[in-house]
Amino acid sequence: SDVLGGSSPPIINWPAVMFWMVALGGPWLIYKAISQMVRSVEEKRKWATGTGAHYTAQALYDFQAANDQELSFMNGEILRVAPKEEQPRVRGWLLARLSGTENGTRYG
């Protein structure tokens, strides 16, 4: 109580308040940022499951992959092709997946 008999306002320990804001808020902000990145990646990969925007193509020729980054397919097989904005900037190649299989997504 002060000299006049009233009560004094509470003293706020600002360094402690700031510490707890950083200690609790920092991890929360990191969690939110990582969650957003994961959702973004999942959204970009929806074409591979056929739930997102994608193209379908039918192979006209057989193609035998030369390495594990390429996709082998046979004449007549249906391919699920990633949308334009997800395509790599490599001339002559497309990002695709065999439709109806869990075979990995590869270039072909």
As a whole number of angstroms, the distance between CA 19 and CA 25 comes to 10
Domains of the chain: which residue ranges?
13-103
Q: What are 53-85's pLDDT values in tens digits?
A: 888 999 999 999 999 889 899 999 999 998 988
As a whole number of angstroms, the distance between CA 95 and CA 76 comes to 18
Q: What are 3-47's pLDDT values in tens digits?
A: 566 677 788 888 988 999 999 999 999 999 998 888 887 777 788
CATH number of 13-103: 2.30.30.40
Instruction: For the sheet with 55-58, list strands across it.
Output: 55-58, 78-81, 95-98, 106-107
Is the model's pTM score more than 0.85? no
